[in-house]
Amino acid sequence: MTETTTDQTAIDTALETLAAAPRLIVALDFDGTLAPFADEPSQVGALPGSWAAVLTLHRAKDTEVVLVSGRPLGSLAAVSHAPQNMALVGSHGVEWRVDGHDEAALTDDEVARVARIGAALDEVGARYPGVVIEHKPAGHGVHTRRVSAEVAAQANADASRAAHEADADVLERGGKDIVEFAVRHVTKGDAIARLRELHGADAVFFAGDDVTDEDGFRVLGDGDVGVKVGPGETRAGYRIADPAALTGVLKQLARQRATR
């Protein structure tokens, strides 16, 4: 596990070095990172200061800003209000809106698998009031934020059993108050590696808060900066307390990047 620091001086130094990279990717998770969590996923929004910094970075020369989320692409576009020319990666790397082109092609077999898993999970959700089944293009999420820990554990166990019975090759991954079941084995790490190659980036900044963001931190190397937002074990080199603290980090990076 990478040694993680909360030392502000170390973060400031890392950002200063990063801002000087010839070509930079700024990859950002949305929920819990740019935006605080909410019980109703459609009602979340990026913190104004963070979003202003994101837009400054988006306009900076030789800088590619990408929102990399577990949300479906349409939902990510709707809640972020991202400009049309800002790159978006949804469903943990399955769906892409990069360079103005959408990419989310599933095979007929994958579409059938998604439907089969979704039907099985709907049956589970019907037995647990307060548990929400979110249907996504490449899979489904079981949300348990509104129920007790005991109910969540039972619902998740039943969902796991049902999903694996419906599809033996389903990918199961946990997050904060959610367990997801997908038909395509791709991660945010795969997405960041692909983005680096597409844009010939010299360095990557990635910030995220959830277990699924660890796949993104895992592919970072020398000269990159990973920032974990909030508690929990992490491979990120740096940690900050919450989305409000990320605002200052993004403002600093935006200021240095815009004036380099």
Note whether 257 and 63 are within 8 A (CB).
Answer: yes
CA angle 190, 206, 143 (to 5 degrees): 70
Q: What is the pLDDT of residue 105?
A: 66
Helix (H, G, I), strand (E, B) or coil at 184: coil
**Residue 103 confidence (pLDDT):** 65
CB contact at 8 A, 85 and 110: no
pLDDT digits (tens, 9 = 90+) for 208-260: 999 999 999 999 999 999 999 999 999 999 999 999 999 999 999 999 999 88
Residue 174: which pLDDT band, with cuts at 50, 70 and 90?
confident
Residue pLDDT, tens place only, 94-148: 889 987 656 666 888 999 999 999 999 999 999 999 999 999 888 899 999 999 9
| pTM of the complete model | 0.85
Radius of gyration of the chain (CA): 18
How far, in Å, are 9, 84, 136, 256 from residue 53 at the CA level?
20, 17, 29, 11
